[in-house]
């Protein structure tokens, strides 16, 4: 099977994240980044499918130069090759434009060998929207089988993809014919840690770098000017003020009750 996994390079959630003052977009240059945690589950699931049969996993990302680190991590985990779409015109793109770039890149990958399965995470850890997988499936003309907590491939290429989708009151079982797009949740597996052997092997794996011109995309279709939504303004969260300390001199209960009553908690 020929599997493409879409991954994203995101700012570290533990770092101090902010926006660029020049255009109100997320600052990705002055903060450490990494492969989105939710995308690690997608990479792991693709590797499990290939290891159970045969095939190849291609990792695809769209982003600035630093986004190459996301591909690097996936290659260290075991993916076979990577594709990095990097073009200055992409800066500020929304989900609509991002799905366009991903779709055209997947079509180009498929020119070499038909893509049987596209796997994504359920969302990115920076935007947390979760709409790109469905948009991407629509552009590719593929069935979208989303939020999979379990995935089974039957018959290999040309077969079927069956998922379990867990809800609050039930679990749905959904089957689609391949080729298809599947987004996975963080319940589906336990992503592996790159081994020393995998880290060394990743250095020799091919990574292609494409620009918008390679995909036949007009720059006017992407970027901040083409975005359907924009951040108009932002402000840093004010620092937390120190709470009031009430000494208990035998009347602590009354003071607590008075505080709760004053703030209408009781």
CATH number of the structural domain spanning residue 81: 3.40.50.620
Alpha-carbon distance of 181 to 194, in angstroms, equals 26
Angle at 132 between CA 126 and CA 136, to 5 degrees: 150
Residue 169 inside a domain? The answer is yes
* Structural domain count of the chain: 1
| Residue 16, pLDDT above cutoff 80 | no
pLDDT higher than threshold 90 for residue 146: yes
Please give the average per-residue pLDDT across 6-26, as a whole number: 85
pLDDT at residue 120 is higher than 80: yes
Cis preceding-peptide flag for 179 (omega within 30 of 0): yes
User: Alpha helices of the chain — where are they, by DSSP H?
Assistant: 37-52, 68-77, 95-112, 132-140, 196-202, 212-215, 252-262
Tell me the pLDDT of the chain averaged across its residues: 93
- Mean pLDDT confidence for 33-52: 96
The pLDDT assigned to 177 comes to: 97
Per-residue pLDDT, 18: 80
Does residue 30 have a pLDDT over 80? Answer: no
In a domain, 241, yes or no: no
* Residue 157 in domain: yes
Question: Quick one: average pLDDT of 41-57?
Answer: 95
pLDDT in tens, 203-258: 999 999 999 999 999 999 999 999 998 888 988 888 888 887 878 888 888 888 98
Phi/psi for 5 (5° steps) reads -110, 125
Q: Decide if 244 is inside a domain.
A: no
Domain contains 256: no
- DSSP bridge pairs for 7: 61
Residue 19 covered by a domain = yes
pLDDT of residue 102: 98
Cβ neighbours of 237 (radius 10 Å): 5
- Say yes or no to pLDDT of 7 above 80: yes
| Positive or negative: CA dihedral 35, 36, 37, 43 | negative
The Cα–Cα gap between 7 and 41 comes to 10
Assigned token pair, 207? 């990574």
Quote the pLDDT of residue 247. Answer: 82
Cα distance between residue 30 and residue 177, in whole Å: 43
- Give tens-digit pLDDT for 61-97: 999 999 999 999 999 999 999 999 999 999 999 999 9
Cα–Cα distance measured from residue 15 to residue 30, given in angstroms and rounded to the nearest whole number: 10
Looking at the domain assignment, is residue 260 inside a domain? Answer: no
**9 vs 66: CA distance, rounded Å:** 8
Quick one: pLDDT at residue 245? 82
Q: Check residue 138 and give its pLDDT.
A: 98
Residue with tokens 């990792």: 59
Q: What local confidence, expressed as pLDDT, does residue 150 receive?
A: 97
Confidence band of 32 (pLDDT split at 50, 70, 90)? confident
Q: How many CB atoms lie within 10 A of CB 259?
A: 13
Q: Which domain holds residue 110?
A: 2-226
Whether residue 77 is contained in a domain is answered as yes
Mean pLDDT computed over 194-208: 97
């Amino acid at each position: 099977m020929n599997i493409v996994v879409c991954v994203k390079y995101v700012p570290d959630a533990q770092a101090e994240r902010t926006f660029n003052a020049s255009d109100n977009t997320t600052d990705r240059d002055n903060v450490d980044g990494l492969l989105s945690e939710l995308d690690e589950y997608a990479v792991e699931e693709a590797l499990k499918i290939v290891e159970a049969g045969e095939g190849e996993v291609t990792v695809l990302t769209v982003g600035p130069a630093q986004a190459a680190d996301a591909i690097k991590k996936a290659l260290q985990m075991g993916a076979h090759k990577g594709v990095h779409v990097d073009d200055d015109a992409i800066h500020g793109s929304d989900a609509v434009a991002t799905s366009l770039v991903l779709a055209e890149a997947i079509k180009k990958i498929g020119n070499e060998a038909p893509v049987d399965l596209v796997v994504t995470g359920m969302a990115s850890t920076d935007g947390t929207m979760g709409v790109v997988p469905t948009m991407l499936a629509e552009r590719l003309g593929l069935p979208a089988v989303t939020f999979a907590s379990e995935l089974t491939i039957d018959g290999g290429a040309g077969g079927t993809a069956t998922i379990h989708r867990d809800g609050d009151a039930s679990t749905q079982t959904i089957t689609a014919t391949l080729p298809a797009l599947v987004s996975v949740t963080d319940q589906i597996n336990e992503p592996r840690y790159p081994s020393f052997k995998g880290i060394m092997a990743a250095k020799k794996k091919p990574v292609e770098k494409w620009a918008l011109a390679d995909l036949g995309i007009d720059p006017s279709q992407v970027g901040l000017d083409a975005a359907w939504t924009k951040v108009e303004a932002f402000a840093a969260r004010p620092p937390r003020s120190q709470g009031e300390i009430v000494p208990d001199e035998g009347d602590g209960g009354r003071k607590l009750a008075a505080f709760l009553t004053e703030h209408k908690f009781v």
